């Protein structure tokens, strides 16, 4: 993530959990998938789960509720602080998902959602690190920005016509993103959110497989809803007609999320992957640091200098 983005997420902390209609649908659908796919085996002692790029802890809270012993890690100290207010028993640490402060094979499940992978500088490295800290057979639910969606068409058209839908993007920059060759990283400026990396479903599957995370199932969220420009849904209140249309589109979007073409043509791509390898992975780092100590809260033990941290019960 570019250095300024840490401060920009810090600045968002106060209102982060107030969801616009766009995000309300995204999280309702994503969290239904999370509950269905990551449920821990009944009767097992509390397995460990990691929320990588946890922000204020939307997914960490769910994993905790589902019976995991959860750890959260994120760059933004202010989002972590906000999360700590409601997630008192979940250890939240400030750190980089590209260099995780946990031992190999220490988690049975992980989430990396809310487009965290689209913000990190090196998505392959972040996935390698998540794979490293998962135990063999461990599961990852990842959600990131999709490259191919009708919404890119709306943004382009809006740019061409003097921006009636308020994307604040030039047609030329949208076109550059669309025309990025498949073997290069596709990035697009998202006003208010910095620059995001957009992934095609094929590229995401390739990145996962490169670190021995085998994709098991896929979903796409905000594909059918793209009949409306996304900017209409990034408002605190929708007009009655838009709200009525959106209700129908949301229902269809959710019902078809696990099917083609949603799994390929959606704003948010979601993949469940399983770790296949037992051995250390190429690209994974052996030792990790955090940017600073844990957000105050119960359980993170700091070893050595104030800048190195190790997870408490992985030793
Ligand atoms: C849109 S938020 C999503 C947070 C949370 N998962 C959710 O769904 O609400 C993206 C998060 O990624 C975090 N992030 C970005 N790059 C990161 C990195 N390299 N290491 C750790 N966190 C990172 C940001 O601080 C931010 O909290």
Token pair listed for 20: 């616009």
Give the integer Cα–Cα distance in Å for 247 and 28. 13
Give the integer Cα–Cα distance in Å for 57 and 51. 8
Ligand 1 atom nearest the C-alpha of 1 is 16
- Smallest CA separation from ligand 1 atom 4, residue: 55
Give the integer Cα–Cα distance in Å for 81 and 76. 9
- Smallest CA separation from ligand 1 atom 26, residue: 55
Q: Which residues line ligand 1 (CB under 6 A)?
A: 1, 9, 53-55, 58-59, 74-76, 79, 96-98, 113-116, 119-120
- Smallest CA separation from ligand 1 atom 27, residue: 55
- Each of the 315 residues of the chain gets a pLDDT tens digit; together they read 455 566 667 776 666 666 789 999 999 999 999 999 999 988 878 999 999 999 999 999 999 999 999 999 999 999 999 999 999 999 999 999 999 999 999 999 999 999 999 999 999 999 999 999 999 999 999 999 999 999 999 999 999 999 999 999 999 999 999 999 989 999 999 888 889 999 999 999 999 999 999 999 999 999 999 999 999 999 888 999 999 999 999 999 999 999 999 999 999 999 999 999 765 555 666 544 445 444 444 333 222 222 222 343 332
Query: What pLDDT is recorded for position 274?
Result: 98
Ligand 1 atom nearest the C-alpha of 6 is 25
**Residue 35: HSE in the Cβ half-sphere, 13 Å Cα cutoff:** 10
Q: Which residues of 234-272 are buried (b: 16+ CB within 10 A; e: fewer)?
A: eeeebeeeeeebbeebbeebbebbeeeebbbbbbbbbbb
3.30.1490.20, 1.10.1740.10, 3.40.47.10, 3.40.50.150: CATH of 3-146+180-221+267-314 = 3.40.50.150
Kindly give, in sequence order, each residue whose CB lies less than 8 Å from that of residue 104, ignoring residues fewer than 6 positions away. Answer: 132, 133, 280, 284
Give the integer Cα–Cα distance in Å for 173 and 162. 14
């Amino acid at each position: 993530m570019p250095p300024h983005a840490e401060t920009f997420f810090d600045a968002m902390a106060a209102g982060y959990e107030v969801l616009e209609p766009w995000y309300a649908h995204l999280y309702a659908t994503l969290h239904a998938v999370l509950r269905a796919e990551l449920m821990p085996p009944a009767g097992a002692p509390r397995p460990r789960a990691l929320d990588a790029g946890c922000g204020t802890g939307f997914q960490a809270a769910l994993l905790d509720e589902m019976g995991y012993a959860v750890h959260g890690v994120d760059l933004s100290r202010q989002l972590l602080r906000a999360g700590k207010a409601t997630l008192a028993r979940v250890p939240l640490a400030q750190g980089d998902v590209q260099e995780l402060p946990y031992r190999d094979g220490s988690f049975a499940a992980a989430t990396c959602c809310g487009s965290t992978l689209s913000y990190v500088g090196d998505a392959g490295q972040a996935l390698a690190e998540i794979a490293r800290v998962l135990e063999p057979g461990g599961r990852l639910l990842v959600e990131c920005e999709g490259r191919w969606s009708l919404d890119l068409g709306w943004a382009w058209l809006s740019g061409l016509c003097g921006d009636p839908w308020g994307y604040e993007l030039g047609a030329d920059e949208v076109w550059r993103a669309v025309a990025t060759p498949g073997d290069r990283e596709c990035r697009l400026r998202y006003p208010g959110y910095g620059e995001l990396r957009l992934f095609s479903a094929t590229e995401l599957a390739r990145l996962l497989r490169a670190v021995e995370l085998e994709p098991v199932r896929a979903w796409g969220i905000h594909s059918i809803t793209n009949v409306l420009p996304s900017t209409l849904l990034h408002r605190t209140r929708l007009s009655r007609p838009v709200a009525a249309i959106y209700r129908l589109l949301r229902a269809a979007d959710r019902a078809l999320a696990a099917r083609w073409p949603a799994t390929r043509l959606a704003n948010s791509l979601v993949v469940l992957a399983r770790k296949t390898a037992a051995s250390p992975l190429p690209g994974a780092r052996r030792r990790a640091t955090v940017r600073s100590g844990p957000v105050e809260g119960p359980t993170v033990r700091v070893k050595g200098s104030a800048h190195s941290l190790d997870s408490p019960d992985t030793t």
